[in-house]
Amino acid sequence: MAIRFILLVNKQGQTRLAQYYEYLTLEERRALEGEIVRKCLARTEQQCSFVEHRNYKIVYRRYASLFFLVGVDNDENELAILEFIHLVVETMDRHFRNVCELDIMFHLETAHFMLEEMVMNGCIVETSKTNILTPIQLMDKAS
Amino acid sequence: MALLGMRGLSVFISDVRNCQNKEQERLRIDKELGNIRTRFKNEKGLTPNEKKKYVWKMLYIYMLGYDVDFGHMEALSLISAPKYPEKQVGYIVTSCLLNESHEFLRMVINTVRNDIIGRNETFQCLALTMVGNIGGKEFAESLAPDVQRLLISSSCRPLVRKKAALCLLRLYRKNPDVVNIDGWSDRMSQLLDERDLGVLTSVMSLFVALVSNNNEAYWNCLPKCAKILERLARNQDIPQEYTYYGIPSPWLQVKTMKALQYFPTVEDPNTRRALFEVLQRILMGTDVVKNVNKNNASHAVLFEALALVMHLDAEKEMMSQCVALLGKFIAVREPNIRYLGLENMTRMLLITDVQDLIKRHQAQIVTSLKDPDISIRRRALDLLYGMCDVTNAKDIVEELLQYLSTADFVMREELALKAAILAEKFAPDLSWYVDVILQLIDKAGDFVSDDIWYRVVQFVTNNEDLQPYAAAKAREYLDKPALHETMVKVSAYILGEYSHLLARRPGCNPKEIFTIINEKLPTVSKPTVAILLSTYAKILMHTEPSDPELQEQIWAIFRKYESYIDVEIQQRAVEYFVLSRKGAALADVLAEMPKFPERQSALLKKAEDAEVDTAEQSAIKLRSQQQTSNALVVTDQQPVNGPLPINQLGLVRIPSQKMEASSHNQGLTKENGAVSKVDPEPAPSADFLGDLLGPLAIEGPPAATVSAEQNMISGLEATPNAADALALATVGDQSNSVQPIVNIAERFHALCLKDSGVLYEDPYMQIGIKSEWRAHHGHLVLFLGNKNTSPLLSVRAVILPPTHLKVELSLVPETIPPRAQVQCPLEVVNLRASRDIAVLDFSYKFGTTVVSVKLRLPAVLNKFLQPKSVSAEEFFPQWKSLSGPPLKLQEVVRVVKPMSLPEMTNLFTSLHLGVIPGLDTNSNNLVSCTGFYSESTRAMLCLIRVETDPSDRTQLRITIASGDPTLTFELKEFIKEHLINIPTPTPAPAPSPALAAAALQPQSPITRAGYTDPGVMLAGLL
């Protein structure tokens, strides 16, 4: 297991997208989201993008009002995950044209589907934007 | 757009978004949940599109953190829909809302399988993704062959195969048997020839999982990995789509290097040369560039390359280059790189002997301790702790002390503990050590645990040279206006014992000492008052010639506390008062504290126990492995038999080659909580009891003299506290120079529920286990793996079986060659039901280090169970015929771990207690049926019924019936152990005589002797 969860949270700490790759009960999720949001959102631009939490790490990145938080094992390559976040954002950008919080909120389905194409069971499946987006475009055409 | 036609969903999302506060949101969501519930109830009117809409709403609500405990069926049912849009929603929402323990996931296995083996690629992808995310054991059993076929099929397109690879990874984790090692090493090797980088990315993750479990089986894949890395690093034939800011898939590069780190060495010279060339290129050719993304991506690769070099470069050709790079990194402005530089330096310390190279960067690392970012400060602290040795201990510890005054509160305790440990391990001289600890208490008293001041007292007591110095220092601190209470304790203790050594100095006559200590009395807490009373008694005893005025003052205090509300203080006051009127006899009773038996620092133990992150933990382990420490390091030598040798010479260093701690017991004590820790060694002498945990113990003269005094103390009776203190006094002295690097208790518990895995691992060796169970026979294989390049010698393994198991271990070779793994079959026959556990007593020698561990073997009760599915017609007559105790036992169990019925079903299934759904008409009950196999009972049916209370999940009633009273009882207790909140491991039978002895200490002859000793008694009262 490499990636434990991916969270998208806005400045106010509201969860906009959550995908867990290990099972946590609802209470555990609530507690975890609360704790890490408190920890990460308080950090400044001059601080590094890694926060140690319990027995794992959070790698995070901020884009305007949205924070992307990825929980990973301690032996994971932090910078690779940091750039993976950017790859997710670029992929969303290509699809939504300048993605913003509302796109993700109101296209929950597409956002989930995109993540599914990129990460499975905590491992990276695909890093080619074209390959990630092809099935989504097909789906859009179909409906 | 997929959401078109789901206007209701958009409206709902925007309603929630517009809620002004949490309360409004809650109301809106409750309303929606009510709405969805009603809609689902009259399903007739629901079109697939509507269903889809409601399922998405549920997911949205769930994501916001609200419980959605219905509608799972509706989500599942969409999986079976014929059309893609519905099916897709079904799959995605199911993987988000459900997990593998959900009972009804089973119902869709067939549909999922049909999608996987069907012709529709998009359906295949959906099904593989869901199974890859939440598939459980049952999925593994029924789908693995199909998934494998897809992965290796040449007609399948990459988009399906990449998902099949990760799906197989999931199934393999659920059931390792789905991948047959013999056949798979070749297959894996072929898969690594894949040209499509998407498939290769997934295949590499699968490979990492396989190779991490068994690197030997996949030797043939090593050159392939090196080739892949070469292809990527040299950018040969990489499609544009897979380059990221000009860098060929950094993620695949990183993953490939991770895979390579699972191979101990690269033996083939050609592969090695090629690999090192590539690594050298990465190390030298990575420049800092302006573009953040490009810079991060190239450094991700660089850091992984560093890790791989550290791992492979046994000859240290490139090591100094690595350290130089890291040294550069820890000084850059970019915080991420600084953080990673520090982190990797710490890792490097663990892997190779580069301490001297790293020391050159000490100044920079110390600067990082003041970084504005706590993440970086933590890394710096960890690194300083890891790199500390005799040569730099003074500097580092002083830096830590200085930092202590300004450090964040969250870090202070850790900081104080680490400073104390380093001061103890690497002190150039003892007086410096005393200085450090006193400063520590002075600056951060709140964060200095009792262990730390106990330890300094122990050193002072054991070193006569140190006593006047410590007393003088303690006296100095008492002049300070505001004193932390811990400082009062330690000063009072030390002055009580040794202030007479200062008597000629100004301000140090007994009266002055008494006066200055007594100033603190009105403001201190009860435990400190107790210490002060002892100090007064000691001062009185040391006053030569006696000073009537002082005596009167002290007696007045004793009398004042004679009727004090706290029993401990009251008792001390009464006793000291009576004792101090005995005149000369007082000197015998209140003689100086004897030397403490040598033992490992309780601090180290504490540091190991403390919940610290992995890197930190490993740094501590590293420390404990190093043998470079000097005179202060005290290690305990615990011989297997015979009394504990008490080193009267004080702090002469005993080389850290001892290791007699049974990890088994460590696990045990940890789990039992802090109250009654037991030591497997019978207390060899009363000295044992005069440990630090009774720092006030007033040691009496040898037992012979004591008997003369006995009448004097005849009024004293051992209070129950005495027993506690006895048990406590022996805490923390089982420790090894070689520490396991896995949590042994956890491993054991995991192996109780599965049949193969790692049982034990330390830096030198790994013990894996694989088992097969058939009726009352068990066939186990122990895999003893040597992780080093030199052999492990004097390997010895003995099984200590409990009486209910017949265990035969085949011959274990005396030597395990470098990097080899030997297999030792082990046959187990179960004679009857019991919860006792067999223990593997294992030892070996590595260099001069002797490692010996005791490990619980997972040959536990549930291994001899086989779930049975019986019908109601079979069940009820049996249930009725077994009536009443001892064949049928019933018990209300409280403090149960709260779990839902599916969770409990899951637990029962993992214990081989087959749950039979629908047998009990009450849906809150759980009925299970299993067959137990032993030589005496043969196959015997056990019936279990659990009645739960949905309003209170912490209690339940359990009824168990079988044809054998022992079995019924043992099984009931066994299940209880798994249900209740504190996991209570069954005590292993092997060390039980010793355990029993320890537990029974209060009655044992040794201890009884101890009781007649007033010193011990007072120690006990503490």
Q: How confident is the model at residue B736 (pLDDT cuts 50, 70, 90)?
A: low
Q: What is the largest CA-CA distance in chain A?
A: 46
Indicate whether B621 pLDDT > 70. Answer: no
Closest CA to B56 of A107, A91, A14, A22: A107
pLDDT at B201: 96
- Measured between CA atoms, the residue of chain B closest to residue A140 is B1
Q: How far is B903 from chain A (nearest CA, A)?
A: 11
Does B898 reach chain A within 8 Å, measured CB to CB?
no
A-chain residues near B239 (CB < 8 A):
128
Alpha-carbon distance of B598 to B596, in angstroms, equals: 6
**A55 closest CB neighbour out of B258, B293, B614:** B614
3-state secondary structure of A19: strand
B54 labelled ligand-binding: yes
Q: In this complex, is the C-beta atom of A31 within 8 Å of any C-beta atom belonging to chain B?
A: no
What pLDDT is stored for residue B951 in this prediction? Answer: 81
Q: What is the mean pLDDT of chain B?
A: 79
Torsion region of B940: left, alpha or beta (phi above 0 gives left; psi -120 to 50 gives alpha): beta
> Nearest CA to A1 among A117, A124, A123?
A123
Per the CB < 8 Å rule, is B129 touching A120?
yes
Distance, in Å, from the CA atom of B978 to the CA atom of B997, rounded to the nearest integer, reads 27
| Cα dihedral value B772, B839, B214, A125, nearest 10 | 80
In terms of CA atoms, which chain A residue is nearest residue B52? A109
- Best mutation target among A27, A48, A68 (most B Cβ atoms within 10 Å) is A48
pTM: 0.65
Q: Is the pLDDT of residue B778 over 60?
A: yes
Residue in A with minimal Cα distance to B304: A77
Q: How far apart are CA B73 and CA B220, in angstroms?
A: 47
For residues B6 and B73, the model is more confident at: B73
Rounded Cα gap, residues B587 and B583, in angstroms: 8
The answer to whether A143 contacts B2, with C-beta atoms less than 8 Å apart, is: yes
Stated as kind and residue range, the H or E segment containing B82 is none
Confidence of residue B628 (pLDDT cuts 50, 70, 90): very low
Hey, is the C-beta of B300 within 8 angstroms of any chain A C-beta?
yes
Indicate if the pLDDT at residue B390 is higher than 60. Answer: yes
Q: Where are the alpha helices (DSSP H) in B676-760?
A: 703-713, 720-729, 744-753
Greater confidence, B764 or B608?
A: B764
* Out of A19, A49, A105, closest to residue B13 by CB: A105
Contact B960, B971 (CB under 8 A): yes
From residue A90, give the alpha-carbon distance in Å to each of A45, A100, B33, B182, B796: 21, 12, 35, 42, 58
C-beta of residue B526 within 8 angstroms of C-beta of residue B570: no
CA B163, B200, B224 angle in degrees (round to 5)? 140
Residue B336 and residue A48 in contact, taking contact as beta carbons nearer than 8 Å: yes
Spatial distance between the Cα atoms of B1020 and A90, rounded to a whole number of angstroms? 68
Strand blocks (E) in B235-375 = 243-244, 247-248
Statement: residue B775 has pLDDT above 90? no
pLDDT tens-digit map of B498-530: 988 887 888 888 889 999 999 999 889 999 999
* CA B392, B393, B395, B400 torsion-angle sign: positive
A128, B132: Cβ pair inside 8 Å? no
Q: Which residue has the tokens 């989930």?
A: A112
Judging contacts by C-beta atoms under 8 Å, the chain A residues touching residue B96 are 19, 112
SS3 content of chain B, % helix, strand, coil (to 5): 55, 10, 30
In DSSP terms, which residues pair with B850 in a beta bridge? B845
Q: Using the predicted structure, report yes or no on whether residue B758 has a pLDDT greater than 80.
A: yes
Predicted local confidence at residue B608, as pLDDT: 59
Chain A hits for B125, Cβ within 8 Å:
135
Q: What is the per-residue pLDDT for B40?
A: 86
- Mean pLDDT within B248-254: 97
pLDDT tens-place string over residues B111-163 = 999 999 998 999 999 999 999 999 999 999 999 999 999 999 989 999 999 99
| Percent of residues, chain B, with pLDDT higher than 90 | 34
Task: Read off the DSSP letter of residue B592.
Answer: P
State mean pLDDT over A6-16.
Answer: 92
pLDDT at A89 over 60: yes
User: B378 pLDDT band (50/70/90 cuts)?
Assistant: very high
**The residue count for chain A:** 143
Tallying the residues shown for chain B, one arrives at: 1022
Whether residue B344 lies within 8 A of chain A, CB to CB, comes out as no
Contacts of B252 in chain A (CB under 8 A): 127
Q: Quick: pLDDT tens for B282-327.
A: 999 888 899 999 999 999 999 999 999 988 876 777 888 899 999 9
Q: What are chain B's domains? A: 180-309 (no CATH), 451-595 (no CATH), 688-859 (2.60.40.1230), 864-980 (3.30.310.10)
Q: How far, in Å, CA of B415 to CA of B616, rounded?
A: 12
Residue to substitute from A88, A125, A136, A143, interface B, most B β-carbons within 10 A: A125
Which positions in chain B touch A53 (Cβ < 8 Å)?
A: none
**Which pLDDT score, from 0 to 100, does residue B1012 have?**
36
- Measured between CB atoms, which of B63, B132, B251 is closest to A15? B63
Q: Rounded to an integer, what distance in angstroms lies between the CA atom of residue B594 and that of residue B576?
A: 20
Chain B residue with Cα closest to A56: B613
**Interchain contact, A143 vs B92, CB within 8 Å:** no
Cβ contact A78–B340 (<8 Å): yes
ipTM of the complex: 0.97
pLDDT, greater one: B353 or B755: B755
Task: Calculate mean pLDDT across residues B474-490.
Answer: 91
**Torsion from C-alpha of B614, B619, B620, B624, nearest 10 degrees:** 130
Secondary structure (3-state) at B327: helix
CA–CA distance, B171 with B194 (Å, rounded to integer): 22
User: Per-residue pLDDT tens for B951-961?
Assistant: 888 888 899 99
- Two structure tokens written together for B183: 């056949």
Asked if B742 has any chain A CB less than 8 Å from its own CB, the reply is no
Identify the burial level of B240 via C-beta atoms within 10 angstroms of its C-beta, where 0-12 means exposed, 13-18 middle and 19 or more buried: exposed
Q: Do B293 and A86 touch (CB under 8 A)?
A: yes
Q: Coil, strand or helix: which one is B750? A: helix
Q: Which range among A117-121, B564-568, B707-711 shows the weakest confidence by mean pLDDT?
A: B707-711
Residue type, B17: R
> Which chain B residue's Cα is nearest to A123?
B205
Tell me which chain B residues have a C-beta less than 8 angstroms from the C-beta of A108.
3, 13, 56, 59-60
> What DSSP designation does B924 have?
T
* B 124-163 residues with CB < 8 A to A: 125, 129, 132-134, 159, 162-163
Question: Is the Cβ pair A80, B60 closer than 8 Å?
Answer: no
CA atoms within 13 A on the CB side of B210: 31
**What is the spatial distance between Cα B738 and Cα B658, in angstroms, rounded to a whole number?**
9
Distance of CA A11 to the CA centre of its chain: 15
* B83 assigned binding-site residue: no
* Contact check, Cβ <8 Å, A79/B159: no
Q: Which residues contact A137 (CB under 8 A, 6 or more apart)?
A: none
